[in-house]
């Protein structure tokens, strides 16, 4: 654990909020059912400030006295027998780099003693539920939220190192899945290949549930079932990634289950790749996220028009919403301790000058880490909806679009670090060129054909 990273981040928070006590609670375990708990995941803000991955911890910062105190749970032998040991104060000091570590039962008295000289307490909701701050301190929950959102947007080099690790191991897992997927397997078998590779790389947790979507399932953006059979002739879309010390990658690849893309699949894939490559190149400081999204929509509008799926004026297609029938999400989002990370705080929520709706509209800054992930999808429910067909009949050739239902959906997603100058740094290394993917698939399918020989030659007695 990079203790200096977290100490540096706490210094930045103190500079931003110097006039009040700061109190944050880490996560408590979460009940799944009966007496079974979900795997523990630390609260992202708490992890951001401490790097402590353990449950039931609190952080109190006293900016004026320059004191940072970590509070930890006191556990008994019952806990040790069922769940194992937790670091005590001396061990926690060394592990997490805090000079002051107390058990949680000291929190009310320490809080009272340090309240002297303050009028405010920057505390999160969980902490305010847990302890009643002294009356003289006015809780300032929204200001704390905004300060954290603002700080979390620009990544420190230690954070980028963790995002790079998450992206590298997730990239390796994507390549393994691309090599091992076969017609006849279930989607969850490919998921198992992906997740095993992340575990082998030492990353125990995924950033979000894996999406492994064959054929038409790929048109469902957050498809979760992963239980359909892979068929030759279809595409397989995998949107999956692991996290390193809480920092998540977010990567999508789409490839043919057979050795090659069909002509229609190739047309759509090439278009999405063009939108992705050109959007990555444009992701530079000063550009509004909405402008980046608008650019990707234009590329996709132009491409779908040249394929005969869309018709009419390009800006009418983009602004009127016809493109959104095929590309219903944004170009990307911030990436960090949450896979859909901080939007950058209030001061970065800028008015959107484009006529296309977006959730994320900060002006790009050096060391933002963002995803770039255009997609094109053909969804039966959308294309057969009578209201939609009526409304968009002068913009969409629905018969032509229906021919592309076999494509399902194509999304290509990389994680990039905006640089002070020039094009961003791409953290994702999974192949995405059509030729490269086809050669990986052809090679994989050839080797599985030869693997099959000894199996067949085993004598049956
Ligand atoms: Mn994403």
Is there a catalytic annotation at residue 413? yes
Instruction: Give the torsion through C-alpha atoms of 271, 274, 275, 277, to 10 deg.
Output: 150
Distance 374 CA to ligand 1 centre (A): 10
Is 103 assigned a catalytic role? no
Question: Does the active-site annotation cover 267?
Answer: no
- In three-state secondary structure terms, 359 is coil
> What three-state secondary structure class fits 1?
coil
Tokens 């405010």 sit on residue? 120
62 backbone dihedrals φ, ψ, rounded to 5°: -115, 95
Assess whether 78 carries a catalytic annotation: no
CA 392 to ligand 1 center in whole angstroms? 28
Ligand 1: distance of its center to the CA of 330 in Å? 9
- CA 207 – ligand 1 centroid, Å: 10
Catalytic residue among 243, 245, 413, 415: 413
Distance 244 CA to ligand 1 centre (A): 17
Note if 223 is an active site residue.
no
Q: How many CB atoms lie within 10 A of CB 372?
A: 26
Between the CA of 59 and the centroid of ligand 1 the distance, in Å, is 31
The three-point CA angle 329-330-336 to 5° equals 115
Q: Give me ligand 1 centre to Cα 413, in Å.
A: 7
Assess whether 35 carries a catalytic annotation. Answer: yes
Q: What is the pTM (predicted TM-score) of this model?
A: 0.95
The one catalytic residue in 333, 348, 379, 441 is: 333
**Centroid of ligand 1 to alpha carbon of 323 (angstroms):** 19
Catalytic annotation present for 411: yes
Quote the CA–CA distance of 63 and 412 in Å, as a whole number: 45
Collect all residues with Cβ–Cβ distance below 8 Å to 40 and sequence separation of at least 6.
27, 29, 30, 53, 55
Ligand 1 center–CA 273 separation, angstroms:
16
- In the residue annotation, 329 being an active-site residue is answered as yes
Please state, as a whole number, how many other Cβ atoms lie within 10 Å of the Cβ of residue 221: 16
Active site annotation includes 205: no
Establish whether 333 is a catalytic residue: yes
DSSP letter at 100 equals E
Q: How far apart are CA 290 and CA 298, in angstroms?
A: 12
SS3 assignment for 159-216: HHHHHHHHHHHHHHHHHHHHHHCCCCCEHHHHHHHHHHHHHHCCCCEECCCCEEEEHH
Annotated active-site residue in 329, 359, 363, 391: 329
pLDDT in tens, the chain (461 residues): 899 999 999 999 999 999 999 999 999 999 999 999 999 999 999 999 999 999 999 999 999 999 999 999 999 999 999 999 999 999 999 999 999 999 999 999 999 999 999 999 999 999 999 999 999 999 999 999 999 999 999 999 999 999 999 999 999 999 999 999 999 999 999 999 999 999 999 999 999 999 999 999 999 999 999 999 999 999 999 999 999 999 999 999 999 999 999 999 999 999 999 999 999 999 999 999 999 999 999 999 999 999 999 999 999 999 999 999 999 999 999 999 999 999 999 999 998 999 888 888 999 999 999 999 999 999 999 999 999 999 999 999 999 999 999 999 999 999 999 999 999 999 999 999 999 999 999 999 998 765 544 444 445 55
Crossing angle of helices 434-457 and 263-282, in 10° steps, is: 130
Spatial distance between the Cα atoms of 178 and 441, rounded to a whole number of angstroms: 7
Q: Enumerate domains of the chain plus CATH numbers.
A: 3-152 (3.40.350.10), 157-451 (3.90.230.10)
């Amino acid at each position: 654990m990079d203790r200096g990273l977290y100490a540096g981040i706490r210094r930045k928070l103190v500079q931003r909020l110097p006039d009040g006590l700061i109190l944050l609670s880490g996560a408590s375990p979460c009940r799944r059912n009966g007496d079974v708990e979900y795997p523990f995941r630390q609260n992202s803000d708490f992890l951001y400030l401490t790097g402590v991955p353990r449950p039931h911890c609190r952080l109190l910062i006293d900016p004026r006295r320059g004191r940072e105190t970590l509070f930890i749970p006191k556990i008994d032998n019952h806990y040790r027998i069922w769940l194992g040991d937790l670091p005590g104060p001396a061990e926690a000091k060394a592990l997490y780099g805090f000079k002051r570590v107390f058990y949680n039962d000291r929190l009310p008295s320490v809080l009272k003693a340090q309240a002297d000289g303050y009028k405010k307490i920057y505390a999160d909701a969980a902490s305010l539920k847990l302890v009643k701050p002294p009356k003289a301190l006015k809780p300032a929950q929204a200001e704390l939220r905004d300060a954290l959102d603002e700080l979390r947007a620009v990544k420190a080099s230690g954070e980028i190192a963790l995002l790079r690790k998450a992206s590298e191991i997730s990239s390796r897992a994507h390549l393994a899945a691309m090599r091992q997927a076969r017609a006849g397997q279930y989607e969850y078998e490919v998921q198992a290949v992906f997740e095993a590779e992340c575990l082998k790389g030492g990353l125990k947790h995924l950033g979000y549930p894996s999406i492994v979507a064959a054929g038409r399932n790929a048109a469902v953006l957050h498809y979760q079932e992963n239980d359909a059979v892979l068929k030759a002739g279809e595409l397989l879309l995998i949107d999956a990634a692991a996290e390193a010390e809480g920092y998540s990658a977010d990567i999508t690849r789409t490839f043919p289950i057979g050795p090659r893309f069909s002509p229609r699949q190739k047309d759509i894939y090439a278009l999405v790749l063009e939108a992705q490559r050109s959007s990555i190149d444009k992701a530079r400081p000063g550009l509004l996220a909405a402008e980046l999204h608008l650019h990707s929509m234009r590329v996709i509008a132009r491409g779908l028009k040249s394929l005969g799926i869309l018709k009419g004026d390009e800006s009418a297609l983009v602004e009127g919403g016809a493109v959104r029938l095929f590309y219903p999400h944004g170009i990307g989002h911030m990436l960090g301790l949450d896979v859909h990370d901080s939007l950058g705080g209030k001061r970065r929520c800028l008015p959107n000058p484009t006529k296309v709706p977006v959730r994320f509209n900060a002006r790009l800054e050096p060391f933002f880490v963002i995803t770039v992930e255009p997609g094109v999808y053909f969804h039966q429910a959308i294309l057969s909806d009578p209201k939609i067909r009526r409304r968009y009949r002068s913009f969409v050739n629905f018969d032509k679009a229906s021919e592309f239902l076999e494509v399902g959906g194509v999304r290509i997603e990389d994680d990039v670090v905006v640089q002070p100058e020039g094009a961003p740094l791409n953290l994702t290394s999974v192949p995405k060129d059509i030729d490269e993917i086809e050669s990986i698939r052809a090679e994989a399918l050839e080797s599985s054909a030869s693997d099959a020989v000894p199996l067949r030659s085993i004598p049956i007695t």
